[in-house]
Chains A and B, each alone.
Chain A
Amino acid sequence: MNLEELKDNLPLLKQEITYFDNAATSPTCKVCIDLTSDYYQNDCFNIHRGGYKGSLKSERRIDEGRALVKDFINAESKKEIIFTSGATESLNLIATSLFSSMDFQGKNIVTTELEHHSNFIPWVMGKVEVRVAPCEKDGKLKIKKVLDLIDGNTVLVAITACSNVTGDFIPLKEIVEKAHIKGAFLIVDASQYVAHKKMDVQKIDCDFAVFSGHKIYGPTGIGVLYGKAEIMDSLNPPKFGGDMVLNVTKQEWLNLPSRFEAGTLNLAGIIGLAGAIQWLNKLSLKNLEERERYLKAYLFNKLSEIKGLTLFSRKENSAPIASFSMEDINSNDIAMFLATKEIYVRSGNLCAQPLLSRINKEGLVRISLSFFNTEEEIDFLISSLKQLKERLGKWKH
């Protein structure tokens, strides 16, 4: 598929915009849009116990969607895939379940300064000691800092596989090993990771993993919680309602995954997510990764031409993300200036206040690329940043 064909499959890109905010939300692919629309137009029937053709058809599509997600992250079983509204809900679901299922007296949770707020606040809100592994002043996370905090009282290690600020991929092997040796669970925030690399939960051997559909060209409002079946079976469900209960008076719950999916699911979202995964599978993440690596190198090279620009992302072993600050100008002003040219980037604390405190920044500008971006778009960004610098110089004098 060439670049033009790719863009045809991402209708949002027909607009006259330069889109560099993929780490927040990627453009929804046409397959997903068509499938979602088709569901609402032709198959909008609820699942389970409908007893009619339409309901059974919807049920089959949801089951197929679950199977696709299972394969996408290489889970062992479909029952380990729980649908949520997004990574945030997935993380909150595990937090609530753990806090209601286990005694945390004298125990601790280990996390890092690199985390998105959604993988930080749910742990801090519990009545438990939270140990936060510090980053370096350049935003790097040294694995040893995490390992040093894990001890026999650690119940959970909550860590990202890829920073939404620096883009760094985090090597999880040693952390998983130590967590398990000490009897702790490990939850991986894979929200950024899955858009760029093949996720293999069995190979990583994590106990839980989460991600959102809208960062992998799928719909908003749908996300995934992966949890090892034997662990999920031992946890209390955090939400109660229809379609999750076996016996109401005895408070007996259905088997996985239903016990964690109270109420009507976002059925259109699941079908759309499955479509996005099929589309990504067809393109092959490996090919896309190569293209993104090239674009990232091109971007980093060009950004280095701008004096007074400090990068907090690295070329190697990272997602195609470049977060930076510029001398004498606030990150929000940079983003607003770029927006006047229809260049869409993210700015501010990037939902990562602990990390920004560590690197002593109020805000950063984040460029997050995807395989559909072009060298021309990057050139346009660079010339716009240079123009802003020139203007700033003039205004100051």
Chain B
Amino acid sequence: METLKIRQEKIIKELDSLDTELKQFDFFFNKAFSVGEGPRIDKYLIEGCVSKAWVRVWSEKNKVYLEVESDSLIFKGLLVVIKEIYEGSSFVEVNNSEFLLMRSVKVVGLLDEHRRESIEKILKMIIDEAKF
């Protein structure tokens, strides 16, 4: 299995190759449609998110797993990408990782303050879950 670092690098490379905001919009929409519906359960709701988003993070045998859902397809696409990066990663990998994806995101709407805060909350949930 690829490491978290390699998975993230591959996605960043793909995003960087999409040279317009519109191409990235398509990329994230495709990601959203590539998975089924996630849990829309209140306890997984991310508070303060512009569009409603639900994220469940859990661990088994010291590895992290995620389920994601959002009313916004484009935000869901971003959450799916985060899931692809972190899913199945060991606690050690998560703790040694750096989230660099957002530097390559060109869709302006995904970069507003509220959405960035939501992403930070989700990353904190992942890191908190990956504590021994």
Contact status B22-A336, CB under 8 Å? no
Interface of A is mostly: helix
Residues of B within 8 A of A391 (CB): 26, 29
Contact status A337-B33, CB under 8 Å? no
Q: Mark A291-325, 1 if CB is under 8 A from B, else 0.
A: 00000000000000000000000000000000000
- Given A332-B109, A348-B50, A395-B29, the answer on whether A340 and B74 have CB atoms closer than 8 Å is no
What is the interface residue range for chain A against chain B?
10 to 19
Instruction: Confirm or deny: A396 has a beta carbon within 8 angstroms of a beta carbon on chain B.
Output: yes
Residues of B within 8 A of A395 (CB): 29-30, 32-33
Contact status B108-A339, CB under 8 Å? yes
Q: Mark A336-368, 1 if CB is under 8 A from B, else 0.
A: 110111000000100000000000001100000
Contact status A330-B22, CB under 8 Å? no
- Given A362-B52, A395-B29, the answer on whether A330 and B109 have CB atoms closer than 8 Å is no
Residues of A within 8 A of B74 (CB): 332-333, 336
Residues of A within 8 A of B120 (CB): none
Interface of B is mostly: helix
Shortest Cβ-Cβ A-B pairs, 8 listed:
A336-B109, A340-B21, A340-B22, A330-B72, A395-B33, A330-B71, A332-B51, A332-B72
Contact status A339-B21, CB under 8 Å? yes
Ordered by A's residue number, 18 sampled pairs between the chains whose C-beta atoms are within 8 Å are A329-B73, A330-B71, A332-B74, A333-B51, A333-B72, A336-B74, A336-B107, A336-B109, A336-B110, A339-B21, A340-B20, A340-B22, A340-B25, A348-B50, A362-B71, A395-B29, A395-B33, A396-B33
Interface size on B, residues (CB 8 A): 21
Residues of B within 8 A of A340 (CB): 20-22, 25, 107
Instruction: Confirm or deny: A335 has a beta carbon within 8 angstroms of a beta carbon on chain B.
Output: yes
Task: Across the interface, name the chain A residue whose C-beta is closest to B32.
Answer: A395
Residues of A within 8 A of B21 (CB): 339-340
Q: Mark B1-36, 1 if CB is under 8 A from A, else 0.
A: 000000000000000000011100110011011000
Task: Across the interface, name the chain A residue whose C-beta is closest to B115.
Answer: A332
Residues of A within 8 A of B29 (CB): 391, 395
Task: Across the interface, name the chain A residue whose C-beta is closest to B110.
Answer: A336
Residues of A within 8 A of B107 (CB): 336, 340
